[in-house]
Structure 1
């Protein structure tokens, strides 16, 4: 599709998004799983805002904050399986699209610009979450954390999305709320946009990520694309 002359990112043929913290606020359901684990151990629930910054890190982030256990700890793997079971049982209770995302996706659809999802979340969770959000049938491509042998920040998930869309990486732009997203885009030679409204992880200062662009709200993507 021809881009407007005023586009900051000219020649873009597809927009790829991270899921958690970029398209959707899934932190409440992730936090719910973590807090049920705390409750089982006689611990009080943590506020969602305490867990929100690490939501993009999934089980690793949630278990680290909620229970103080890291992947290198011997107890981590059993806790991870428990967390994933808890999350799978209630992953679409409070998750919702961020404000502005429905309008953004409608504009992309209306402009004939394909969009897709590239996430580190496994497909057994990604599929149901996208179904619950009404996005599963709309996304032109969905690459989950187990679609390729690698996860972000490796570039392979983004390169696979481009392969399925039959476009060069430079013809797509990747939007994400975690440093790993920007690192993956850079490694794939793809323009990157940091979603400053997202979770931001442990490296929360987006100005240090070397993203090509930063947006404080999803609808600011329209300006970059000249739509």
Structure 2
């Protein structure tokens, strides 16, 4: 059966506003006033919470950064649905897939304890067949293990199906799992990213392009 698997942050949902707000709060708690630029900091989201914390506290030792990362996650967990929303076109895409009885799921490196309530807060995503978080398997993307688990759980035929994400780790994992892969160019790519070199099957300019796959 054909199906779709999606990355979460930067592909289905724009979470940058809430993740940047959590960083601003963390900085303020430590006596640092910042006014983060959305376009600058959204690029860090692909690299996870540690990279976000290091952007402000990189001068500290590893243990201090780890403690700040845990506090950052606490702050974010308390406010993860304040400003986050679906990217333009995603609602229409999901509706089309649901109406056509095409199964779809989510494979993200975001921990499940954060990803699940985020998904639950968005009614358009309630027909998600499987949600694999970064803490659900021994390995996370770019390893294919979480995608392989989702494929078996749904189940779908990987050679007929698509994985869509906005990072090299997404495409590497999808290719290793034997899926067709597509880059979500509307996501959190940086100016130094070169998606044309990621060996994806497709580059998608906007979410509605998914309906052409």
TM-score of Structure 1 vs Structure 2, range by shorter chain: over 0.9
In the alignment, which of 18, 27, 31 is matched to residue 38 of structure 1? 27
Aligned equivalents of 2:123, 2:59: Cα separation in 1:
34
In the alignment, which of 170, 175, 178 is matched to residue 167 of structure 2? 178
Residue in structure 1 matched with residue 77 of structure 2 by the alignment: 88
In the alignment, which of 50, 54, 58 is matched to residue 64 of structure 1? 54
Aligned-CA RMSD value: 1.8
Give secondary structure in 2 for the equivalent of 1:198. coil
CA contact (8 A) 1:193 1:211 kept: yes
CA contact (8 A) 1:178 1:201 kept: no
Q: 1:203: how far off?
A: 5.3
Aligned equivalents of 1:66, 1:135: Cα separation in 2:
35
Residue in structure 2 matched with residue 52 of structure 1 by the alignment: 42
Q: 1:179: how far off?
A: 0.6
CA contact (8 A) 2:95 2:124 kept: no
Aligned equivalents of 2:110, 2:190: Cα separation in 1:
15
Aligned equivalents of 2:58, 2:161: Cα separation in 1:
38
Give secondary structure in 2 for the equivalent of 1:30. helix
Q: 1:112: how far off?
A: 1.3
CA distance 1:59–1:202, shift in 2 (3 Å): farther
TM-score, structure 1 length as denominator?
0.88
List structure 1 runs of 4+ shifted beyond 3 angstroms. none
What is the aligned length? 212
CA contact (8 A) 1:197 1:217 kept: yes
Q: Which runs of 5+ in 1 are unaligned?
A: 1-11
Q: Which runs of 5+ in 2 are unaligned?
A: none
